[in-house]
């Protein structure tokens, strides 16, 4: 299944508050990665950076407590996943607010001039 370019954010894309994206293309992945929720394109860079920082800090914390090296990336993925779950409701509220504003605009009766 291919994801349309309009809903897929790429690392070279300009930040846009009006464009909603559902997937992201990362350099190391051959397929587009799904975001936790549709979100404005301007948020994606911050969400990816925060996810990487959370993953890296958890990775270092697991290794510093003497756990095996192979276990560290797996355990560190849990906080990164939780961060995505925390951002998803915020993005859904924004999406819902924008959808209701469009519906309200469509329901308004055309004013006679």
Whether 77 is in a domain gets the answer yes
Count of the separate structural domains present in the chain: 1
Whether 18 is in a domain gets the answer no
pLDDT band at 83 (very low <50, low <70, confident <90, very high): confident
Whether 48 is in a domain gets the answer yes
pLDDT band at 113 (very low <50, low <70, confident <90, very high): low
Whether 37 is in a domain gets the answer no
Give the span between the Cα atoms of 44 and 9, in whole angstroms: 8
pTM of the predicted protein model:
0.68
Whether 92 is in a domain gets the answer yes
Whether 54 is in a domain gets the answer yes
Whether 21 is in a domain gets the answer no
106 touches 99 (CB < 8 A): no
Cβ contacts of 35 within 8 Å, gap of 6 or more:
21, 22, 23, 24, 44, 47, 84, 91
Q: Is 58 left (phi over 0), alpha (psi -120 to 50) or beta?
A: alpha
Three-class DSSP labels, 15-31: CCCCCEEEEECCCCCCC
- Determine the pLDDT at residue 63: 84
């Amino acid at each position: 299944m291919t994801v349309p370019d309009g809903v897929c954010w790429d690392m070279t894309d300009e930040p846009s508050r009006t464009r909603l994206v559902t997937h992201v293309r990362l350099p190391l992945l051959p397929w587009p990665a799904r975001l936790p929720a549709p979100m404005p394109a301007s948020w994606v860079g911050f969400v990816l950076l925060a996810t990487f920082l959370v993953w890296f800090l958890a990775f270092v914390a697991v290794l510093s407590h003497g756990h095996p090296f192979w276990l560290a990336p797996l355990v560190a993925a849990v906080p990164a996943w939780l961060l995505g779950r925390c951002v998803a409701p915020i993005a859904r509220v924004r999406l819902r607010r924008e959808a209701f504003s469009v519906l309200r605009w469509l329901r308004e009766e055309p004013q006679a001039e």
